[in-house]
Amino acid sequence: MQSLMTLLGGASLGAGAMYLMDPDRGHHRRTELRDTLAGVADSELVERARQLEPMAAVRQLGGGVGALLEASRWVPAARAWLAAAARGGAPGT
């Protein structure tokens, strides 16, 4: 499955590169893409995102960095539980 996804990803990138580097219409397509991306960069949504404080969403959840660190302690235990469940064993054994 991984190699199929790699193949599809490579084919998609190649097709996109060919589309933009087309000798006949590639320059026009690149210009349109540049103008579109410039318009997106100047949009209100992007400006609002730039003004957001990175940890504000975590604080709104009520925990701050301490909650993130506390939650990270549970990640190995959750992985072990999921692995045991996938093997058909009782979680926690």
- Tens of pLDDT, residue by residue over 35-83, are 988 888 888 877 877 777 666 666 666 655 566 566 666 667 777 777 7
The SS3 assignment for 92 reads: coil
Does residue 72 lie in a domain region?
yes
Does residue 78 lie in a domain region?
yes
**pTM, to two decimals:** 0.44
pLDDT in the model for residue 44: 83
Residues 68 and 32 in one domain: no
Q: For the residues 12-31, what does the mean pLDDT come to?
A: 93
Q: Tokens in use for 8?
A: 């599809």
Residues 48 and 88 in one domain: no
**Nearest Cα to Cα of residue 67 among 77, 80, 57:** 57
10 has a pLDDT exceeding 90: yes
**Domains contained in the chain, number:** 2
pLDDT in the model for residue 18: 93
Residues 74 and 93 in one domain: yes
- Determine contact, residues 6/12, Cβ cutoff 8 Å: no
2 has a pLDDT exceeding 80: yes
Task: Taking each helix axis as running N to C, give the angle between helix 2-20 and helix 26-41, from 0 to 180 degrees, rounded to the nearest 10.
Answer: 110
Domain that holds residue 45: 2-52
Residue 68 CA neighbour count, 13 Å, CB half: 8
Does residue 58 lie in a domain region?
no
